[in-house]
Chain A
Amino acid sequence: MRRKSYHIQDHSAEANLFTRRAIISFIAAAGLILVLVVNMFHLQINSYQSYQTRSNDNRIKLQPIAPNRGVIKDLNGKVLASNEPSFSLEIIPEQVNNMDETLAALQQIIEISEEHITVFKRAIKYRRRFKSMPLKIRLTEQEVAKFSVNQHRFQGVSIEARLTRHYPFEKYFTHAVGYVGKINKRDLERLEENEQIQNYTATRSIGKLGIEKYYESQLHGITGSENVEVNHRSRVLRQLDVIPPKPGADLHLSIDANMQKKAHDVLDGNRGAIIAMDPRDGAILTFYSNPSYDPNLFVTGISQTNYSKLLNSKDKPMLNRVSQGQYPPASTIKMQLGLLGLDKGLVTTNSTVWDPGYWKIPNIEVQRRFRDWKPGGHGHVDLLTSIKQSCDIYYYDLAYRLGIDSISEFGKKFGFGNFTGVDLYEESRAIMPSRQWKRDRFRQPWYKGDTISIGIGQGYWTATPIQLAMATSVLVNKGRVVEPKIVTGISQNGVYSETATKYREPVTIKNQRHWDAILKAMYETVNAIDGTARTAFAGAVYSSAGKTGTAQLFSLADDEEYEEESVAERFRDNAMYVGYAPFENPTIVIVVAVENAGGGGSNAAPIAREMLDLYFGLGLSGRRHITQQNDAIGVPSGTN
């Protein structure tokens, strides 16, 4: 028991040793607690500001709020482009672990076509990071409910209520109003360039075509912002403060939806264009290109199948025939040439030309016969007859004597060969040929023979229907050149303002009575017993004037007869008509172009008639009150 006794002996020494060790332990523990306290002091007191900021950065997110896009309305206030609330299924790809699995699982719950998935996969490549992308829009209530039950299974997938652009008139306004589509990479680059990118942080769609594109900056509005509190999954819990967005401006058109529908109905089955415009201020009343298509397809991303169907259709529905369709103007420009002849003194209202049914360039050995549309000819033809009967020989002769330089110069004053200034980006200049143009285009000199067919609006000369409407308005306005416009009013914050009417350098002639001579000839075309548009307008309750045109697309040999039946449909003549009404104080200029329909008098004029019947039937003639613009811009009135 040696150990035991030794133990007892040293008991108090051991106790002292233990107490010392306990005190050392206590001091060590106190020291370490002090270390903790100092560290906490450093974190909570010294670095408080920095951590406070980081804590707020965690929970407070600045979110942009998209402004409501302005709506577009027709003459009667019918909404042509609206914003419809809809639920869409959206995905933030960055938050999804396995996209294919997620999509497959979603397909189990909600019907999502492969088409949608293809479109979605393409779209997510061109998109800002961490921005959600719609997979399917316009979900039904049932689909919303089905997904909501399963939401927990899908990280990064959510249902969002958004406003989606909607075009209730579908195909009727496509080429005028256009459409919006998802913002793509190219749009982003352009926004970046224009320093507009900040204003689009919350925006998903942007104008891609038509008015929607041209007036993008007015329609869009100013993006607002809000500070929201979010949790660690970035789910928004509450709003802390907000700067409300400013909605975009509403646009008002002078186009009447009924006229637009009528234009569709009368062109149904044909390719062509109808444009009507108020000659007083250039306001467009009808703007329709057939065939058309449903712009709603593009709003959320069109499927590849539908897109290639549109793109590859031989009827080219995506072509805006009103402002991009380049047609030989044919006889619809004879008035301008006649006027130029009068002004240059090459013809008078009484002088005549002998029309045996053909015309030959004088003093040239190798003779090519230029034929009149009427076999056997019109006999002695004066200016009035040359227009109302559309005599070709008169204008072969006149063009030959005028020469290309003066025709080209005069034509440009009427707006040919240039943009009309209409508020659309989809516009073509078409061609007002000149020596310079031919040299640039073909590296060839201008031949005298080239001028002859220019005389009847053929050859190299092409024009868009909107150019013809503008040029005809110049006649109606006796020289005043008004640019066409689709948007005639803009309301911003409830304040309505008319858009400015834009004038160009007026067409001036020496004798003002020459205008009346030309306009009278157009009147006769419609109203005289032998006028080419007489049949089409027989019995009309309003007075109107106009000019028919038939554009040859198929060159005949000198001795060949044109036979409609034997010519392939695509090479048949284009039917053209330009007209205006009422004859006194006109309020509407109308242009009809129908491709491969045949003669203008029998195929285009009746369409113009139907349109004008509706126009007057609806009482639209007295609808628009134009406050007369500054007369100084118009034609000087003292020279006659």
Chain B
Amino acid sequence: MVQTENERRQSSLWFRFHIDLPLLLGILTLMLISITVIYSAGGQNVDMVIRQVMRLGIGLGVMLVVAQISPFFYQKWAPHLFVVGIGFLVAVLLVGDMGKGAQRWLNLGVVKFQPSEIMKLSLPMMMAWFLSNYTLPPSFKNTIVGFTIIVIPTLLIAKQPDLGTSLLIASSGFFVMFLAGLRFRILIGLFAGAAAFLPILWFYLMHDYQKQRVLTFLNPESDPLGAGYHIIQSKIAIGSGGLEGKGWLQGTQSQLEFLPERHTDFIFSVLSEEFGFIGVLVLLAVYAFVIVRGLIIAVRAQEAFTKLLAGSLILTFFVYLFVNIGMVSGLLPVVGVPLPLVSYGGTSIVTLMASFGILMAIATNKRLLAS
């Protein structure tokens, strides 16, 4: 008897260790790109490359561990985790450490961490749990409750203030609603509401430096040596890369340090300068591959909870890269979102890799239904 595709996959070694091979390959490719560009952007600083490799290694470890956990564990504990996450966010506002003018870090004595990172995973879980408890598409009442669940952590994080992360978290919750079948009527109403909310955001919620960023985004050339410097230098780096780029380690904008935040938020500009339009297409192709793979996993998942969770996680991943690339190429204001898996740095890699771990767990944990 011929094995079905499912059976063949499920019997493979990868499957047994809860690894989705295409997704893993996509992630490893991105990591390879990351190391290559960071070596150049960091001025051939080997220590920096080693630190990034270690971080990516830890990320891979986290991913593998998380992949072993059954998604139903999250389903069971989602509300509890959400409540704990909210608790942390309140705590960080009360006793958090300051960093760059914002309270983001919570010091637990042993570890310092950003509670907003937990919320990146916890909110979509909570939403998926809540909506999958009822029939889909969600009723009007459940829609209201759903938005309330989204708004609470969003406002708490915006208050830190960390506008970039709060928007990313809000969108992760929104994606669950959307994938669950949020009616288009409500969607349109929502956009109208958001438009109405903008003035409130501008006048009451945004800090001066955030307003400045938006103004600079609207007209970067107005202040070429001041606030507009970042974006102008970034566009020069990208534009001067041309079709084929200036070559690895040859980007004058990055090597001569005209480009700020080269190895973190603006790493895409370094890649564009040194590898040109072709390099950009390759990177975007890898990202597209990862996203498509994530969506396939979501579609193939057999439970509403896992579908919603997987879909939301991969779409949030897309938002990350879209916001980052949009920002460094002048389409969006500078909000301080790293390029996922490529930028040099910290907790966000661990969180991202944990979310890929959850995706892999969903891909490889099947409650076989009777056919």
Binding site for B on A (CB under 8 A): 3, 6-7, 10, 14-15, 17-19, 21-22, 25-26, 29-30, 32-33, 35-37, 39-41, 43-45, 47-48, 50-52, 54-56, 58-59, 229-233, 237
Contacts and interface: CB of A to CB of B under 8 A. Distances in A.
B113 interface: no
A26 B175 CA distance: 12
B251 to A, nearest CB: 9
Given A14-B136, A36-B284, A37-B281, A58 B256 contact: yes
A142 B136 CA distance: 81
A58 B237 CA distance: 10
A37 B252 contact: no
A39 B280 CA distance: 11
A19 B299 contact: yes
B257 A22 contact: no
A43 B235 contact: yes
B239 interface: yes
B238 A44 contact: yes
A39 B330 CA distance: 9
Most buried by B among A10, A21, A25: A21
Contacts of B272: 40, 43-44
The 6 closest A-B CB pairs, nearest first, are A51-B239, A55-B240, A231-B256, A44-B277, A51-B240, A43-B239
Given A26-B295, A232-B256, A51 B238 contact: yes
B243 interface: yes
Contacts of A50: 239
B252 A58 contact: yes
B178 interface: yes
Contacts of A40: 238, 272, 277, 280, 329
Given A35-B331, A55-B240, A231-B258, 17 more contacts: A3-B133, A3-B135, A10-B136, A18-B304, A18-B308, A21-B181, A22-B311, A26-B291, A29-B291, A29-B315, A33-B288, A39-B330, A44-B277, A55-B252, A55-B253, A56-B252, A237-B256
A26 B179 CA distance: 11
Contact of A44 (B181, B242, B257, B325): B242
Interface in B109-168: 133-137
B284 A18 contact: no
B236 A54 contact: yes
A18 B256 contact: no
B257 A232 contact: yes
Nearest to B292: A26
23 contacts: A3-B133, A3-B134, A6-B135, A10-B136, A14-B135, A17-B137, A18-B179, A21-B311, A22-B298, A26-B292, A29-B322, A33-B322, A36-B331, A39-B329, A43-B235, A43-B238, A43-B330, A51-B235, A52-B240, A52-B242, A56-B252, A231-B256, A232-B257
Interface in B157-199: 175, 178-181
A36 B225 CA distance: 26
**Which of A19, A30, A37, A43 neighbours the largest number of chain B CB atoms within 10 Å of its CB?**
A43
Q: Looking at A7, A40, A59, which has the most chain B CB atoms within 10 Å of its CB?
A: A40
Chain B facing A: main interface SS: helix
Contacts of A41: 277
Contacts of B258: 58-59, 231-232
Contacts of A55: 236-237, 239-240, 252-253
A7 B135 contact: yes
Contact of B295 (A25, A45, A48): A25
A232 to B, nearest CB: 5
Contacts of B136: 10, 14, 17-18
B318 interface: yes
A33 B286 CA distance: 12
B95 to A, nearest CB: 35
A56 B256 CA distance: 11
A22 B257 CA distance: 42
B256 A25 contact: no
A15 to B, nearest CB: 8
Contacts of A39: 326, 329-331
Contacts of B180: 18, 21
B230 interface: no
Q: Is the interface of A mostly helix, strand, loop or mixed?
A: helix
Given A14-B304, A59-B256, A44 B299 contact: no
Interface string B292-324: 100100110000100110010001001000100
B329 A22 contact: no
Nearest to A10: B135
A51 B304 CA distance: 49
A45 B325 contact: no
B241 interface: yes
A45 B288 contact: no
Given A43-B235, A51-B236, A54-B236, A18 B299 contact: yes
A552 B329 CA distance: 88
Given A18-B307, A36-B329, A232-B258, A25 B239 contact: no
Given A14-B304, A44-B243, A55-B237, A36 B135 contact: no
Point out which of A18, A35, A41, A58 has the most chain B C-beta atoms below 10 A from its C-beta.
Answer: A18
A378 B198 CA distance: 115
A10 B133 CA distance: 13
Contact of B175 (A10, A25, A37, A47): A25
Nearest to B245: A44
B276 interface: yes
Contacts of B241: 44
A52 B329 CA distance: 16
Nearest to B273: A55
Contacts of A37: 280-281, 284
Given A3-B134, A21-B181, A232-B257, A29 B280 contact: no
Contacts of A15: 307
A48 B238 CA distance: 9
Contacts of B134: 3
Nearest to B252: A59
A490 to B, nearest CB: 45
A229 B322 contact: no
A47 B239 contact: yes
A22 B325 CA distance: 23
A232 B133 CA distance: 57
Nearest to A57: B236
B137 to A, nearest CB: 6
A19 B299 CA distance: 6
A3 B139 CA distance: 13
Contacts of B322: 29, 32-33, 36
A52 B239 contact: yes
B370 to A, nearest CB: 12
B126 to A, nearest CB: 18
Given A3-B133, A55-B236, A43 B329 contact: yes
Interface string B321-361: 01001100111000000000000000000000000000000
A18 to B, nearest CB: 5
B236 A29 contact: no
A21 B239 contact: no
Contacts of A237: 256
A45 B240 CA distance: 9
B178 A21 contact: yes
Contacts of B235: 43, 51
A231 B181 CA distance: 53
B70 to A, nearest CB: 20
A51 B326 CA distance: 18
A93 B330 CA distance: 34
B277 to A, nearest CB: 4
B75 to A, nearest CB: 14
Contact of B239 (A7, A10, A17, A44): A44
A63 to B, nearest CB: 16
B236 A45 contact: no
Contacts of A26: 291-292, 295
Contacts of A6: 135
Contacts of B181: 14, 17-18, 21
Interface string B240-270: 1111000000001100111000000000000
